[in-house]
Amino acid sequence: MIFIGMADLHGRLPQEKHLNSIFNKADFVFLVGDITNFGREAEAQTIVSPLIERFQNIFAVSGNCDFPEVDAYLNEKKINLHGRCERIEGIGFIGLGGSLVTPFGTPNEYTDDEIVRILDTGLGDIPHGTPLVLVSHQPPFQTSCDRISSGAHVGSLAVRKFIEIHQPLVCLTGHIHESSGIDKIGKTHIINPGQLGRGGYAYVDVREENTIVEIRRWQ
């Protein structure tokens, strides 16, 4: 299975020729939060609707810069992964939207305790041993994917603990634009492709023998 992760769109999409190259050969596409730039339903529709028309197999989580109406729109389109799991070809895809509480009072924020409850709800009754993929706008704590420009790590302890316990194959993440990179927690690949508008997206190829994880460029 090949899937693509596009993070931190902030209300902008690449040109159609670049989208076609991103979607080429992909089985599924995941929008990893901040779909809009402090937008609501109309802004979400402007971004998501053309993607759904072009490529049917899309799922998404909102980001901290998305108002609640964005989640409502994703629910309406039946593509929202926040707090739930979608089982695809034997893999469970679990979603977490929003972010930890920030100094900026963005519209979609959670405490670590709330994140624990959201992830537990998403995990639900998935049978033990099911391969998992975590689609989380908020990165886990203390990797190369959660470091802000000062050097401080601002990831979530709750997300990290979930990964340590359940060891998903991959965690697609975003949120920290300056922390584009690939890391690992145990056997889990952590990938933050950076802001989509700056040219990066996540490419993941899950095979029986191994999992290939790359940051690719559409520019």
- Separation between Cα atoms, residue 112 and residue 18, nearest integer Å: 36
Has residue 208 got a pLDDT over 90? Answer: no
Q: Who's near 156: CB < 8 A, 6+ residues apart?
A: 100, 112, 115, 138, 139, 140, 141
Q: For residue 135, give both structure tokens.
A: 């689609």
pLDDT in tens, 129-185: 999 999 999 999 999 999 999 999 999 999 999 999 999 999 999 999 999 999 999
Q: For residue 138, give both structure tokens.
A: 């908020």
Name the band, by pLDDT with cuts 50, 70 and 90, for residue 190. very high
pLDDT value for 204: 98
pTM above 0.95, yes or no: yes
- Separation between Cα atoms, residue 186 and residue 52, nearest integer Å: 34
**Amino acid letter for position 93:** F
CA distances from 132 to 59, 122, 205 (A): 15, 11, 14
pLDDT in tens, 84-112: 999 999 999 999 999 999 999 999 999 99
Parallel, antiparallel, or unpaired: how do β-strands 188-192 and 181-185 relate?
Answer: antiparallel
pLDDT in tens, 107-135: 999 999 999 999 999 999 899 899 999 99
- Return the residue matching tokens 């931190």: 8
pLDDT value for 90: 93
Residue count (the chain): 219
Domains located in the chain, CATH noted: 2-217 (3.60.21.10)
Pair 6, 30: CB distance under 8 Å: yes
In sequence order, what are the beta bridge partners of 88?
A: 91
Could you give phi then psi for residue 179, rounded to 5 degrees? -115, 40
Has residue 56 got a pLDDT over 90? Answer: no
pLDDT value for 184: 98
- Separation between Cα atoms, residue 71 and residue 77, nearest integer Å: 10
